[in-house]
Structure formats: structure tokens, C-alpha cells
């Protein structure tokens, strides 16, 4: 039997770098590695490189093509020589909250941004970080010659013949999260870079979905790479009516679409996907870490926390607004978490565990509703990301999200999607290769629709009535 052709896919995500090496024809995962990233919302890109070296150590023998999927939006500023001039400012850094308000108003409000680039910027968007850095770190800003994204930087760093900032590429998916590239017209808006930064910067060339953009020192072809959510959509092979809900560091809900979206409310970002189409997406800042932080507070391991949330006889009116790192959707960058409904009966570890899971799922239920409001069909929800391993999440999701829940077998879908892109680039076919997505059995649903409606209604009541406090910087 002939040896399979090998491709590697990488997820350079917020918390870790993950690498899978797959059979290019079937997608079977033959080798895997991972290495953590440091905590924090501003990170030296050299840390991603270190993590890549550790995660890929010993895995790359025979690999013919590599693709990088990366956390979206992070601002990497480079000088003429290609050196990083400021720590990368990540998607979950909210320092650019004031810059965001300025920029949204300067262009004429949310509708003007939705028309220009398909999305209304929130502090996650790279364009707001450019405005922030020009005021907060003027020396670094003065040295900057180019602005790129995490996956662009990693791809360029892997290229054997890289020189300075010339030849850097990005792709449609990741470019759509900058705030200066329009998915509808497939063009840059350099005027928006100038507006944010006060002058122009070099921008990476937007490569085609199946393009080979370079070669590694080891001789492997480099695919274009993409943003992590776009890679996950490719890894899951999302179909019309499918909505992916990912519980990683961020919580995301997204669907593929044949036409661009432009939501002037700013809830749905009108991103592009990695195949030439579109990927409307809603993102929250707080997902899996709501569970780990609450578990830590309660002195429980994750498995024990999960058991407690599952066993609890409902949250009994206890509501946890999970805005532990500020929030992006709803747009409350200065907010903190909030617990409402404490009584002697509810002030119990199990009830708190339950309220944490319900709170993060209520936020994601609002996200799925925002996609519905854009006219996107929601027939099935595919749960993924580290937090989808929680049995309590699986049991409460169908009722709270209002859809059938599918649980793809736990796997690194971002890295798998990147690997599928690498296989596509390697084989040069018209469409990506067909890879199976094995499906697991989720925990049975334990919440009725009536209970879910009550929980969502109370969550929304508490959110609406505490907005004035949550939107002020007072308490952060």
C-alpha cells in the first residue's frame, strides 16, 4: 500500500498552539502536538513561535503542506525589517474601548461601518487597536511599517525565503476581521487605516483560498492559512442550516453564507470564510473560562464542577452575567461579571455552578438569535471548543439554544480545518477534499423548553436592568 500524503494544520489560538498532521486524502489524524501560550491580552509573537516549535517537534517528517489557523484580529506591528515593534494586542484586549467609540462616530456611526466593511468595530477589531496604539505607544507606532494578523505573521515566519515585510500574505477570512477590508467588494479600505493610525501602513496581500504562498525551510508548501473560526468552519464542513457554536476562550456562533451580511446593530460581524464565501459570526469574550473560573472559586476540579451543574435542581432564580473579562457581545467592554438572585437557598456551590453554565449559554443563545435575525436558518447547532466537553453544557444547550445539538467528536477543528486547507492547496482541486466529521453522542437534554424560556427571560431582565452600571468604567 502506498504511503499517505501528509499535511499539517495549526491552531495558533489564544491559550495554546495545537498541531495536527493528517492524511491529505481522508483527514485521518496521524500525529498531534500542543504547547501553551502565556496568559495576557498583549503577547510577544515570539511566544507563538516558541509554542509552535514545541508543539510541532518531531511531527513534521514527510509533511508536504502546512496551513496556519490563528486567533482573529490580533494586531502585530512590524518595522521595515519585519521586526515586531510592540507586543501583539489580542482580540480580547479591551484597551481600545475609547478608540472604538471615536472611530465609530467619526465615520458616521455603526451603519456607515457596516456598509464599509460588513461589521461594526468593537474593541476586538484590529482597526481600533491601531488608533489605540498610536496614542498609547507613540514610539512603537512611529517605527511601524506594516500591520499583520497572528496567522499572517506565523505564515511569514515559516517561509524560507522571507525578507523584511515583503511578500507577507493574509486571506479573505482573517482580513475580514481587521475593519479595513470589505468582504462584499473584496478590497482594502486603506483610508480606514489612515483614519485610525494617522498614516498609511503596508498591508498583506490577500491570497486565494487554495493558493500556495511559499515554502518552509523543510520544503513543505505553505497554504494561505486563515482565522481560527474560518478554519473551524472548514474543519466541520458546515452546511446550510448548520450553526457552529464554539466554547473556547471566546464564545462564537457562526454559519456559512453565500452572500455578505452587514448588520448595523453590530451584533453579527459580516466576516468572509476560507472558501470564497461568507461567515456571519457573533463573538463573546467569555466562554470556557467562565466554567474554569467558577470551578476555581468553588474549589472544584472541572469534572466535579460539571457534575454539580448537571445535578443541581436548576438555578432557582440565580443569574450569573459572565462578563469576567469585560464583554464584546453585548458591547460592554467595561463590564464585570454580576451575580443576581442570591438567597440562602441559592447561595450554594451547585446552584452557582449551574448559574455559570446557564449564564454563558444564555449569552450564546442571544448570539444564535442574532444570526436568526439576519435571516440565517438554524437547523442544527454543532458544539465545539474545549467547553463543549462539559456534560452540563451538552445537557442544557438544546433547550437554551432552541435547536438540535450535534456534538462532533472532540477534536481540534481549527487545526483540522487548516490541515484541510493545506490538502486543498497541495492537490490543487477545485474544492477542498471530502473529509468525514465523526459525530459523538451528547449528554441527553435535561431542560424543558419552558424552563429554558424562564431562564433566558430572567437573564435578559437582569442584563437590561443593569446595563447602566455595566457600561461605565466605574467598576473596572
Ligand X SMILES: Nc1ncnc2c1ncn2[C@@H]1O[C@H](COP(=O)(O)OP(=O)(O)O)[C@@H](O)[C@H]1O
273 three-class SS: coil
Contacted entry of ligand X, ligand 5SP, none for residue 93, CB cut-off 5 to 8 Å set by kind: none
Q: Whole-angstrom Cα distance, residue 252 to residue 269?
A: 11
- Tell me, what DSSP letter sits at residue 256? -
**Residue 72 annotated as part of some ligand binding site:** yes
59 binds, among ligand X, ligand 5SP, none (CB under 5 to 8 A by kind): none
Note whether 283 binds ligand 5SP by CB under 6 A.
yes
What distance in Å separates the CA atoms of residue 213 and residue 167, rounded to the nearest whole number?
A: 9
Q: Which of the listed partners (ligand 5SP, ligand X, none) does 302 bind, with a CB threshold of 5 to 8 Å by partner kind?
A: ligand X
73 is in an annotated binding site: yes
- Of all residues in the shown chain, the one whose CB is closest to ligand X is 386
At which residue does the C-alpha cell 483614519 appear? 195
Contact segment (CB under 6 A) with ligand X among 114-122, 143-151, 286-294, 416-424 equals 286-294
Q: Are 437 and 28 in contact (CB under 8 A)?
A: no
Our answer to whether residue 61 is catalytic in this structure is: no
Is there a contact between 233 and 256 (Cβ–Cβ < 8 Å)? yes
Identify the CA nearest to 231 among candidates 18, 76, 29. Answer: 18
Q: How far apart are CA 179 and CA 113, in angstroms?
A: 8
Is 93 a binder of ligand 5SP (CB under 6 A)?
no
Q: How many angstroms separate the CA atoms of 242 and 378, rounded?
A: 6
By CB under 6 A, residue 315 contacts ligand 5SP: no
Measuring CA to CA, how many Å separate 363 from each of 65, 315, 326, 327, 370?
38, 16, 13, 10, 11
The one catalytic residue among 11, 228, 263, 331: 228
The whole-angstrom separation of Cα 44 and Cα 348 is 41
Least separation, in Å, of the C-beta of 465 and ligand 5SP? 28
Q: What cell was used for 10?
A: 495549526
Q: Is residue 153 a contact point for ligand 5SP (CB under 6 A)?
A: no
152 touches ligand 5SP by CB under 6 A: no
Out of 56, 94, 252, 394, name the contact with ligand 5SP by CB under 6 A: 252
Site string for ligand 5SP, 160-199 (x = CB under 6 A): -----------------x----------------------
Phi, psi of 80, rounded to the nearest 5 degrees: -55, -35
Q: Which of residues 367-396 bind ligand X (CB under 6 A)?
A: 385-387, 389-390
Residue 216 binds to ligand X (criterion: CB under 6 A): no
- Residues in binding site for substrate: 72-73
- Kindly list the residues in this chain that would bind ligand 5SP in the complex (CB under 6 A): 13-14, 71-73, 91, 124, 177, 227-229, 248-250, 252, 281, 283
Enumerate the active-site residues. 228
Amino acid at each position: 500500500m502506498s504511503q499517505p500524503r501528509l499535511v499539517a494544520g495549526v491552531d495558533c489560538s489564544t491559550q495554546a498552539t495545537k498541531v495536527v498532521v493528517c492524511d491529505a486524502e481522508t483527514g485521518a489524524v496521524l500525529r498531534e502536538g500542543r504547547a501553551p501560550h502565556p496568559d495576557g491580552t498583549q503577547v510577544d509573537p515570539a511566544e507563538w513561535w516558541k509554542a509552535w516549535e514545541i508543539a510541532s517537534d518531531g511531527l513534521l517528517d514527510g509533511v508536504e503542506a502546512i496551513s496556519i489557523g490563528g486567533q482573529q484580529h490580533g494586531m502585530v506591528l512590524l518595522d521595515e525589517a519585519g521586526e515586531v515593534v510592540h507586543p501583539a494586542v489580542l482580540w480580547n484586549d479591551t484597551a481600545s474601548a475609547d478608540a472604538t467609540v471615536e472611530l465609530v462616530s467619526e465615520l458616521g456611526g455603526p451603519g456607515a461601518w457596516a456598509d464599509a466593511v460588513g461589521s461594526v468595530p468593537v474593541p476586538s477589531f484590529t482597526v481600533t487597536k491601531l488608533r489605540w496604539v498610536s496614542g498609547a505607544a507613540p514610539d512603537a507606532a512611529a517605527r511601524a511599517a506594516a500591520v499583520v494578523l497572528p496567522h499572517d505573521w506565523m505564515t511569514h515566519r515559516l517561509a524560507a525565503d522571507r525578507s523584511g515585510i515583503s511578500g507577507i500574505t493574509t486571506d479573505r477570512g482573517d482580513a475580514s476581521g481587521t475593519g479595513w477590508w470589505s468582504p462584499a467588494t473584496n478590497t482594502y479600505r486603506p483610508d480606514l487605516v489612515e483614519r485610525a493610525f494617522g498614516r498609511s501602513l503596508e498591508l498583506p496581500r490577500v491570497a486565494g483560498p487554495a493558493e500556495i504562498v511559499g515554502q518552509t525551510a523543510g520544503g513543505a508548501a505553505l497554504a494561505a492559512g486563515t482565522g481560527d473560526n474560518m478554519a473551524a468552519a472548514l474543519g466541520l464542513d458546515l452546511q446550510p442550516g448548520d450553526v457552529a457554536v464554539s466554547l473556547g476562550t471566546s464564545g462564537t456562533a457562526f454559519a456559512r453564507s453565500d452572500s455578505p451580511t452587514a448588520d448595523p446593530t453590530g451584533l453579527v460581524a459580516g466576516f468572509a470564510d476560507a472558501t470564497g464565501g461568507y461567515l456571519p459570526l457573533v463573538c463573546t469574550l467569555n466562554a470556557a473560562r467562565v466554567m474554569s473560573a467558577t470551578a476555581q472559586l468553588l474549589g472544584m476540579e472541572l469534572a466535579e464542577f460539571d457534575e454539580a451543574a448537571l445535578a443541581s435542581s436548576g438555578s432557582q432564580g440565580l443569574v450569573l452575567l459572565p462578563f469576567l473579562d469585560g464583554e464584546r457581545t453585548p458591547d460592554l467592554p467595561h463590564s464585570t461579571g454580576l451575580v443576581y438572585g442570591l438567597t440562602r437557598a441559592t447561595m450554594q456551590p451547585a446552584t452557582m455552578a449551574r448559574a455559570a453554565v446557564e449564564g454563558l449559554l444564555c449569552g450564546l443563545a442571544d448570539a444564535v438569535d442574532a444570526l436568526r435575525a439576519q435571516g440565517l436558518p438554524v437547523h442544527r447547532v454543532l458544539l465545539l471548543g474545549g467547553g463543549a466537553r462539559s456534560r452540563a453544557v451538552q445537557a442544557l444547550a438544546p433547550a437554551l439554544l432552541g435547536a438540535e445539538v450535534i456534538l462532533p467528536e472532540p477534536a481540534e477543528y481549527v487545526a483540522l480545518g487548516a490541515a484541510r486547507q493545506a490538502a486543498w492547496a497541495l492537490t490543487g482541486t477545485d474544492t477542498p477534499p471530502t473529509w468525514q466529521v465523526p459525530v459523538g453522542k451528547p449528554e441527553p437534554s435535561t431542560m424543558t423548553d419552558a424552563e429554558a424560556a424562564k431562564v433566558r427571560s430572567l437573564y435578559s431582565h437582569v442584563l437590561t436592568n443593569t446595563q447602566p452600571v455595566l457600561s461605565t468604567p466605574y467598576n473596572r
